[in-house]
């Protein structure tokens, strides 16, 4: 082989989408976002704002627009390079909706009806149980299959949807040949599992009506300090990790993720100290952890021209890939192409 020829190994594709339904939390950051820049070095990554999914719940147009811009700015602020990674807005790539409709026609009603999230959200939003809420998983499948994603980072609440995407991909591959890569859940570096500050047996959530229960990635240092000071603990007053102490154990998990210290090291550090000292230290660690991200976000969010330009480039690059898959699918099914 010629010594001057370099063979570049093709990287596996990872797709990560975030809904613009509110500012992500510290749990999102420590559990996933913090590791995305490293993930982007090792994989061919696409990151996006899943705004089509967010309209299953009624939102004021101005609010939706501002949330899309905010979540896109957050993605740009995570240390992701928009020149190396595709960072896009879902609604700006029409192939998502087109493939979503096709996949609806290859998904059985019973499969969609079994989705736990549809049942849960139907109860929560009983006044607006729309068809989009029902077909949400097939659109999610389209998101994944469009880019021939090998892996998708999914939380517990989305595992069922990924399984449906795998089933649809396998079904269509059996019918028409090798149309889609069958995606698998992404198993990367385990991030911290962050629980509610007010109900530490529940996962931290940006939709929790009690704003004291979660820390937003855009909370100010003063707000972070107040929220952690008001975090539920117990009456023992001793810092150590135990399932019997969910409040303190949650704060230890957060402190460990921000400082890199083990639980044993944390216990030694706060031996003989009370919860007040510990909470102050946790708050300071969180503030320092988020400081570089927050500084970058504050810079980017004030540069609308850069945001819109990055969106345009991201949409063009995403659409180029998406069109290849959609064209192949439509040809195999039997649609007539004018190209």
Residues 203, 227, 245, 279: which is the catalytic one? 203
203 classed as catalytic: yes
User: Could you give phi then psi for residue 97, rounded to 5 degrees?
Assistant: -70, -40
Mind listing the pLDDT tens digit of every residue in the chain (339 residues)? 445 544 457 899 999 999 998 899 999 999 889 989 889 999 999 999 999 999 888 889 999 999 999 999 999 999 888 888 999 999 999 999 999 999 999 999 888 888 777 777 777 777 778 787 788 899 999 999 999 999 998 876 678 889 999 999 999 999 999 999 999 988 766 567 899 999 999 999 988 899 999 999 999 999 999 999 999 999 999 999 999 999 999 999 999 999 999 999 999 999 999 999 999 999 999 999 999 999 999 999 999 999 999 999 999 999 999 999 999 999 999 999 776
In DSSP notation, 241-289 reads --TT-HHHHHHHHHHHHHH---HHHHHHHTTT--HHHHHHHHHHHHHHH
Token pair 């290849």 in the structure block, residue: 324
279 in catalytic set = no
- Cα gap 65→168, rounded to integer Å: 32
Q: Tokens for 162?
A: 């990924």
Domains located in the chain, CATH noted:
13-187+304-333 (3.40.50.620), 211-299 (1.10.240.10)
- Measure the CA–CA gap between 3 and 8, rounded to whole angstroms: 14
Cα–Cα separations (whole angstroms), residue 115 to 135, 207, 338: 10, 20, 37
The phi, psi pair for 165, rounded to 5°, reads: -60, -40
Q: Round to whole Å and give the CA distance between 299 and 312.
A: 19
Q: Give the CA distances from residue 321 to residues 145, 169, 182, in Å, rounded to whole numbers and listed in that order.
A: 11, 17, 17
| CA–CA distance, 241 with 313 (Å, rounded to integer) | 47
Partners of 89 in beta bridges: 49
Q: How far apart are CA 267 and CA 246, in angstroms?
A: 15
Catalytic residue among 34, 84, 124, 206: 206
3-state helix, strand, coil in the chain (%, to 5): 55, 5, 35
Which candidate in 62, 119, 121, 226 is catalytic? 121
Residues in the chain: 339
Instruction: Tell me the pTM.
Output: 0.90
């Amino acid at each position: 082989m010629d010594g001057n020829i370099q063979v570049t190994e093709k990287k596996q594709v990872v797709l990560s989408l975030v809904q613009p339904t509110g500012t992500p939390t510290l749990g999102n950051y420590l559990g996933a976002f913090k590791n995305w820049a490293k993930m982007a070095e090792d994989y061919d990554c696409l990151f996006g704002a899943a705004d089509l999914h967010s309209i299953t719940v009624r939102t004021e147009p101005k609010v939706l627009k501002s949330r899309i811009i905010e979540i896109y700015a957050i993605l740009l602020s995570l240390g992701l390079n928009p020149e190396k990674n595709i960072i896009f807005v879902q609604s700006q790539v029409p192939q998502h909706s087109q493939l979503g409709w096709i996949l609806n026609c290859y998904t059985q009603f019973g499969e969609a009806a079994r989705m736990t999230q549809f049942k849960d959200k139907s109860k929560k939003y009983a006044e607006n149980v729309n068809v989009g809420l029902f077909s949400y998983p097939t659109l999610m499948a389209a998101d994944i299959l469009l880019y021939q994603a090998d892996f998708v980072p999914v939380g517990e609440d989305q595992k069922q949807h990924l399984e449906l995407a795998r089933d649809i991909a396998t079904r269509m591959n059996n019918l028409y040949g090798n149309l889609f890569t069958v995606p698998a859940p992404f198993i990367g570096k385990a991030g911290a599992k962050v629980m509610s500050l007010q109900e530490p047996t529940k996962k931290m959530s940006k939709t929790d009506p009690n704003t004291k229960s979660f820390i937003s990635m855009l909370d100010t240092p003063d707000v972070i300090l107040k929220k952690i000071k008001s975090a539920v603990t117990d009456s023992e007053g001793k810092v150590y990790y135990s399932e019997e102490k969910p409040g303190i154990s949650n704060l230890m998990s957060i402190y460990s993720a921000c400082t890199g210290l083990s639980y044993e090291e944390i216990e030694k550090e706060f031996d003989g100290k009370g919860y007040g000292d510990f909470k102050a230290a946790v708050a300071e660690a969180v503030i320092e952890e988020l400081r570089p991200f927050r500084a970058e976000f504050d810079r980017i969010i004030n540069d609308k021209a850069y945001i819109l330009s990055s969106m345009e480039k991201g949409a063009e690059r995403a659409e180029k890939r998406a069109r290849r898959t959609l064209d192949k699918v439509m040809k195999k099914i039997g649609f007539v192409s004018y190209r």
